[in-house]
Each structure stands twice: as structure tokens, then as C-alpha cells.
Amino acid sequence: MNFSDRITLGRTGLTVGRIGLAAGYNAPARAYEEGFEKGCNYFYWLPRRSGMKSAIRNLLRQGKRDRMVLSVQTYYRSPRLIERSLEQALKKLALDHVDVFMLGWRNRPPAPGIVERVLRLKEVGKCRFIGMSGHQRSTFPQMAEAGDFDIYQVRYNAAHRGAETEVFPYLGDAGVISFTATRWGHLLKQSRMPQGEQPLSSTDCYRFVLSNPRVNVCLSGPGNLQEMREALRTLESPPLTPEEMERIRRIGDHVHQRGMLF
């Protein structure tokens, strides 16, 4: 396994780097541009995140659109507002379409009217593919059975491994993107470690996620250039040894149990 190799995102035919760039912590444009230069071409943009917006527009001006995979998320629950949010995103990015339009924070299947609207946006070319992101694992098999979505964005990390049995086996040939690889930073904190154990690095967390063959892309949400560079070290790292895998799982179990206690 070579983490620097690009792969195909499920059945979409899109070629992507294994580390995806998420805008949530609003790193400066330079961080995302450096990530792109190292092969990270999946941009997961949230409106009102100026750092990634600037990076995307800079790369578009350089004629690199065909090398980028652009994903936009909406949290709206109204079909009308969902469509409007995509139109606004296209205007802000000066685009006529995005590659992926993601319905965010869906812990139950979207209403039929919402599914009809996003399928219509796909049909008319406003987006090439549609995705669904959520935290409730039981929702994903239901959505996969319906077959309307091309990509699923799933919470998965060393402390939250339920997707291995409850989600991944049911997604068929859909694309899979993981998020919260560091479990909101808990896997990086000494205070949350078992006695005598050193915390994981973010690179350890990304390597763990990408070791699962069902995960196509692991999202990284850098807050600055240093955090982006640490994520990029994943691409130069070897696969986990059995000993490393056992240690990461042991730490994940401890962090998960401690979270349940508190």
C-alpha cells in the first residue's frame, strides 16, 4: 500500500489523492495550495471559509480545474434552500458546476423531495455527483440500498470503528470519504492516553484510516500550514506494521471508553 498513489473515488471515475482537504478550520490559502501541489486534489469547501475559497480561485486562475475535485456541502433541509445554496457556492467560486454536492449532517434519510431536488441538480449539470454525510451509522445502509447517492462521508477513526462492520460492507461500489480521523483531536492529547502511553500523531491517525481498503479519501482539516504539512507526511509514510496497528487500536479503545465514561 502506497499512500501517495491516487485512486478512483468509488464508481464516480474521479481520480483523487488519499488525503482530502477540508475547509472547516480555515487554514490560509497557502496551506491548501501546498496540499494540492503534493497531490491532494479533493477540496471539501464550506461556504464562508475564505482560506480555501482563495486557494480554489487561485488554482482556477492557473488553469488547474481539470486536476481538482471540488465538493460543496449544504446543511439546509429545504429543497429550495438546498438548491439556492449550491447556486450561491457556484457564484462565489465562479464555476458552472461542482464535482460533488454533499448533503451534510444527515442522521436519517433525507425526505423524498430533497432527494428529487439534488438528483435534478445532477441531471441539469450543476453537480456531477451527489453525496451524503452523517454520524448515525444505521442511516448509511438504508441510503445505499436506495442507490441515489454516489459518495458517502462517514465518521471513522481508531476510537470509532463501528463503520467497519455497520457501514462499509453495505456501500457497494459507492465512494467512501472518512472524517474526524483524530476524533476531534482526542487521539492527539496526552491527557486522554492510557497510563504510560504516548499520544498518536495526526499522521498515525491518517495512516490508520487509510489502511482500511474501503476508505478512498481521509479528510484533513488543517488550521494552519504546519498542520497541513503534518498531514502531508502521511503520503510519504509506510503502511502500519502489525505492532503499530495493535497500538493504535488499543489507544482507540481507551479513548472511546473514556469518552463514554465522561
Backbone angles phi, psi at 134, to 5 degrees: -165, 175
Cell of 207: 495512516
Does 7-261 carry CATH code 3.20.20.100? Answer: yes
Q: What b/e sequence results for 93-128 when a residue is b if at least 16 CB atoms lie within 10 Å of its CB, and e otherwise?
A: bebeebbbbbbbebeebbeeebbebbeebbeeebbb
Domain boundaries, the chain: 7-261
Residues whose CB is less than 8 angstroms from the CB of residue 207 and which lie 6 or more positions away in sequence, other chains included: 3, 234, 237, 239, 240, 244
Q: Is the pLDDT of residue 261 over 90?
A: no
* % pLDDT > 70, the chain: 99
Q: Is the pLDDT of residue 198 over 90?
A: yes
Cell of 204: 498515525
pLDDT, tens only, 14-71: 999 999 999 989 899 999 999 999 999 999 998 877 899 999 999 999 999 999 999 9
pLDDT, tens only, 91-132: 999 999 999 999 999 999 999 999 999 999 999 999 999 999
* % pLDDT > 90, the chain: 95
- Looking only at the bridges linking them, the beta strands covering 15-16 and 7-8 are antiparallel
Q: Which pTM was predicted?
A: 0.95
**pLDDT at residue 27 in the model:** 95
